Structure 1
């Protein structure tokens, strides 16, 4: 059962830019998610916005552009942008927003303050994002996030496998980030075995990696 909002209930406004706004008053994040899910699936719009006016925060889903934006800071609003990549990421991002607002999306992916940065190639975006990570702790958090999204541990327990069963054209930005970060923290990349999918990245298991990945399991 979802933890109730304290204080509650909490109000959100859903919009799609056509004037048909919907305001909801909900007791917990799950109720908010169910209300927005019905709103989202009942329309075919270029842009969907969730506003938490009391907190001065918004989440903007742009399926037409493949982009998610989060906006925070009532006095000095700041916006960040993320390449959604897959259509099934929009509703999960909404759930994280309902649970913890702007900060709840910190680990959802690679956020950029400049929308034009998303026009760069996935490899360029991924490398640029990796360059913003300057501590080992933050690097392991991002590596573990990538692993939790599409990874596994091989049956021998000797390797962490990233992008399990994915092709080389999948997850290009995350792969570029991962390759930079495993070098930064000193993890050992090994050759994938024969028969592995072309996009997989195999890394020798490391105690530091095990600890961080366990938090995401």
Structure 2
């Protein structure tokens, strides 16, 4: 059960550029997510905005451009941009925003202050994001996040499978980041078995990851 907002209820404004903005008053992040999901799925827009006006924060989803932007208008205004490789990433980003606002998206991916930086290749963006992670704890958390998004444990319980059933053309930035982090952590990557999708990454299980994966599963 989602933790209630305190103080609550909390107000958000949803907009999609069609003039039919929706203001909601909700008691917890899950209620906010349900309301926004209905708003999002009931339209076909290029841009969706979630505004938390009392906090001076916004989340802008741009499925037409494959971009998410987070904005903070407080003492030190900031706008940051994230390239999105898959359509199913938009609503999870909204849930994180409802839970913890701007900072709730810190580990959702690699954010750039300049929209032009998103033009780098996915592999370059992924490797650059991995390079910003310099501690074992942070690396384990990021590997667990990537696994939780599209991974499984092999039925033998000997291997973690990342990007289960995904092709090599999918998740290119995430895969590049993962490979760098596996190297940083000294984790053993193994060859995928015959018949596995060509985008899968198989890694031998490691006690350091088991507890973190359980937390994310």
User: Structures share a fold, TM > 0.5?
Assistant: yes
Please say if residues 85 and 170 of structure 2, whose CA atoms lie closer than 8 Å, have aligned partners that are also in contact.
no
Distance, in Å, in 1 between the alignment partners of 2:192 and 2:100 is: 38
Give how far 1:37 is off.
2.2
1:115 maps to what in 2? Answer: 115
Which deviations, in whole Å up to 9, do the C-alpha atoms of 1:36-70 show, x marking residues without a partner?
22322232222111111111111100011011111
Q: Please give the residue correspondences for 1:2-81 in structure 2 after superposition, counting only pairs within 5 Å.
A: 2-81=2-81
Q: Matched residue of 1:20: which SS?
A: coil
Q: Matched residue of 2:7: which SS?
A: coil
2:101 maps to what in 1? Answer: 101
Q: Does 1:208 align with 2:216?
A: no
Give how far 1:104 is off.
2.0
Distance, in Å, in 2 between the alignment partners of 1:37 and 1:102 is: 19
- Paired residue total: 217
- Gap change, CA 1:185 and 1:73, over 3 Å in 2: farther
Distance, in Å, in 1 between the alignment partners of 2:197 and 2:38 is: 37
TM-score for the superposition, normalised by structure 2: 0.92
Give how far 1:73 is off.
4.9
Give how far 1:21 is off.
2.5
2:83 maps to what in 1? Answer: 83
Structure 1 residue runs of 5 or longer lacking an equivalent are none
Q: Matched residue of 1:215: which SS?
A: helix
Which deviations, in whole Å up to 9, do the C-alpha atoms of 1:84-132 show, x marking residues without a partner?
2222222222122112212222232332233222211111111111111
RMSD over aligned Cα atoms: 1.6
* More moved, 70-79 vs 45-54: 70-79
Give how far 1:182 is off.
0.6
Distance, in Å, in 2 between the alignment partners of 1:198 and 1:215 is: 28
- Gap change, CA 1:53 and 1:128, over 3 Å in 2: same
Distance, in Å, in 1 between the alignment partners of 2:185 and 2:34 is: 40
TM-score for the superposition, normalised by structure 1: 0.92
Q: Matched residue of 2:216: which SS?
A: coil
Give how far 1:18 is off.
4.3
